[in-house]
C-alpha cells in the first residue's frame, strides 16, 4: 500500500508531484485539464484568483462568515452589526458535524467544481486545500481595521468555519479518490515572531489544530516563508510543506523536530520548483534534482537516511503559480513532473 490513513498517516509518497493550488488561468476547465495532465498520481484542483476577486485564497473560503464583505480590495467583517445569528449557525454546524452546512459554491471555487466533473482520473490520491486560520484571520479586518485574528470570538469562529469547509471539500474529493491529502495554507505564519504578530504560541497551535482535526485524510500545513517550524510540527499535521527553492535553510534549523516528524511516519513536501519566469528559465529536472538533494543533505547528516527522506517526500512548486503566465505555469508543472520521474527512476510523462 502506498500510504495508510490513520492517526498518523504513513506518508510514503516517494517524490510524487502535486501543486500548491493557484494557477493564472481564467478558464477553469483549461486549468483542470493542465493539472490533471501533469499531476496524474495526485491531481489537485486549481484556485483561480485572477478569474474573480472571490476566488482569492482567503475570500474563497469566506462564504458564510457573518458580516463579511469585500471593500477596497480587502475582505472585511462589519462588526458594527449583530453577528450573533451567523456565529450561532457556524457553532451549531460545528457541534453537530454538519459538513454540508457551509459548502464552497461554484462562484467562489470554479476550479474545484470543474475538477469534480473530470471523469478520466485514476489517481493514487487527490489533493485539496483550505486557507489556514492564521492567514485567514490576519487578512480579514473588522470595522476598526484590526485583523480578526486578535478577536477571540471571531478567530475561533473562523477556525471552525474553515474546518467545516475542509471537511465538506474532503467529502466531495472522495468522489475522485478515497485517499485525500488536504493542505492548510498558512503563508501568514511567515510573520509569526515579528513585531507585527502578537498572539501566543499556544493560541496559534490551537487554531491550526482546530482545522486539522476536521480532516480525516493526510493533513498538511503549508508555509512559503520562514517561520517557527517547531510550532508547525507540534500541531497534528502529518506533512510540513515549505518553499525548498528559496528557504531550504530555514527548515534545516530544526533537525530534531524534522527527525521526530519523519520517524513518526510524517513527511515533507519540498517546494523545489520555482514560481518565477526567470528562475524557471534557468532550471531543468537535473538541476532541480541537484538542488533538492542539496536541500536534503543537512537532514541526512543529522541521522535521517537519504532513502527515507526521499520515500517520505512530496514534490511541489515553491508556492502558487498565479503570478506566472499560463505558459509559465505549464513550464513549472512540466519541470515538476520531470523532476519527480527523475527522482523515481521513471520516464517523464
pLDDT reported for residue 344: 93
- CA–CA distances in Å: residue 77 to residues 16, 144, 173, 302: 40, 10, 30, 47
pLDDT reported for residue 6: 37
Burial class (CB in 10 A: 0-12, 13-18, 19+), 118: middle
Q: State the Cα torsion 74-78-84-89 to the nearest 10°.
A: -30
Cβ atoms 199, 149 nearer than 8 A = yes
Q: What is the DSSP pairing of strand 74-77 with strand 68-71?
A: antiparallel
Segment 63-73 mean pLDDT: 87
Which pTM does this prediction carry?
0.94
How far apart CA 348 and CA 335 sit, in angstroms, is 9
How far apart CA 345 and CA 47 sit, in angstroms, is 31
Q: What is the pLDDT of residues 219-231, one digit of tens each?
A: 999 999 889 999 9
Q: What is the pLDDT of residues 296-315, one digit of tens each?
A: 999 988 889 999 999 999 99
pLDDT reported for residue 3: 40
Cβ atoms 339, 290 nearer than 8 A = no
pLDDT at 55 over 90: yes
Segment 142-151 mean pLDDT: 94
pLDDT reported for residue 132: 98
pLDDT reported for residue 71: 76
Of residues 207 and 119, which shows the higher confidence score?
207
pLDDT at 13 over 60: yes
Domains along the chain with CATH numbers: 16-344 (3.20.20.210)
Q: What is the pLDDT of residues 183-212, one digit of tens each?
A: 999 999 998 977 778 899 999 999 999 999
Residue reference for cell 537519504: 306
pLDDT band at 10 (very low <50, low <70, confident <90, very high): low
How far apart CA 222 and CA 232 sit, in angstroms, is 9
Segment 124-139 mean pLDDT: 97
| Short-list 202, 201, 235, 203, CA closest to 219 | 235
How far apart CA 104 and CA 171 sit, in angstroms, is 12
Note the Cα 203 to chain centre separation in Å. Answer: 20
pLDDT reported for residue 193: 78
pLDDT band at 342 (very low <50, low <70, confident <90, very high): very high
pLDDT band at 8 (very low <50, low <70, confident <90, very high): very low
Q: What is the pLDDT of residues 158-185, one digit of tens each?
A: 999 999 999 999 999 999 999 999 999 9
Q: What is the pLDDT of residues 268-292, one digit of tens each?
A: 999 999 999 999 999 999 999 999 9
pLDDT reported for residue 347: 56
Three-state DSSP class for residue 221? strand
pLDDT at 74 over 80: no
Segment 83-92 mean pLDDT: 98
Segment 25-41 mean pLDDT: 97
Residues written for the chain = 349
Q: At how many degrees (to 10) do helices 201-212 and 152-173 cross?
A: 30
pLDDT band at 7 (very low <50, low <70, confident <90, very high): very low
Amino acid at each position: 500500500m502506498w500510504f495508510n490513513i490513520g492517526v498518523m498517516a504513513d506518508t510514503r509518497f516517494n517524490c510524487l508531484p502535486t501543486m500548491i493550488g493557484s494557477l493564472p488561468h481564467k478558464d477553469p476547465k483549461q486549468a483542470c485539464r493542465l493539472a490533471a495532465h501533469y499531476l496524474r498520481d495526485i491531481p489537485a484542483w486549481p484556485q483561480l484568483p485572477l478569474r474573480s476577486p472571490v476566488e482569492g485564497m482567503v475570500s474563497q473560503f469566506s462564504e458564510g462568515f457573518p458580516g463579511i464583505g469585500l471593500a477596497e480590495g480587502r475582505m472585511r467583517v462589519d462588526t458594527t452589526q449583530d453577528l450573533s445569528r451567523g456565529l450561532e449557525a457556524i457553532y451549531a454546524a460545528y457541534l453537530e458535524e454538519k459538513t454540508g452546512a457551509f459548502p464552497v459554491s461554484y462562484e467562489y471555487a470554479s476550479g474545484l467544481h470543474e475538477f469534480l466533473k473530470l471523469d478520466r482520473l485514476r489517481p493514487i490520491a487527490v489533493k485539496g486545500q483550505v486557507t489556514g486560520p492564521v492567514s485567514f484571520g490576519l487578512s480579514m479586518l473588522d470595522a476598526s481595521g484590526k485583523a480578526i485574528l486578535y478577536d477571540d470570538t471571531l478567530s475561533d469562529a473562523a477556525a471552525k468555519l474553515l474546518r467545516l469547509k475542509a471537511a465538506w471539500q474532503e467529502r466531495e474529493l472522495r468522489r475522485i479518490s478515497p485517499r485525500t491529502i488536504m493542505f492548510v495554507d498558512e503563508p501568514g505564519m511567515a510573520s509569526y515572531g515579528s513585531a507585527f504578530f502578537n498572539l501566543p504560541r499556544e493560541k496559534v497551535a490551537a487554531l491550526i489544530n482546530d482545522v486539522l482535526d476536521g480532516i480525516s485524510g493526510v493533513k498538511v500545513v503549508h508555509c512559503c516563508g520562514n517561520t517557527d517550524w517547531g510550532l508547525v510540527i507540534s500541531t497534528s499535521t502529518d506533512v510540513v510543506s515549505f518553499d525548498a527553492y528559496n528557504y531550504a535553510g530555514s527548515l534545516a534549523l530544526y533537525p530534531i523536530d524534522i527527525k521526530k516528524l519523519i520517524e513518526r511516519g510524517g513527511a515533507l513536501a519540498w517546494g523545489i520548483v520555482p514560481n518565477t519566469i526567470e528562475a524557471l528559465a534557468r532550471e531543468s529536472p537535473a538541476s532541480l534534482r541537484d538542488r533538492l538533494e542539496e536541500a536534503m543533505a543537512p537532514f541526512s547528516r543529522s541521522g535521517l537516511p537519504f532513502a527515507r527522506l526521499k520515500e517520505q517526500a512530496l514534490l511541489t512548486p515553491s508556492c502558487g503559480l498565479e503570478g506566472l503566465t499560463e505558459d509559465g505555469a505549464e513550464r513549472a508543472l512540466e519541470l515538476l513532473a520531470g523532476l519527480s520521474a527523475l527522482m523515481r527512476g521513471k520516464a517523464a510523462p
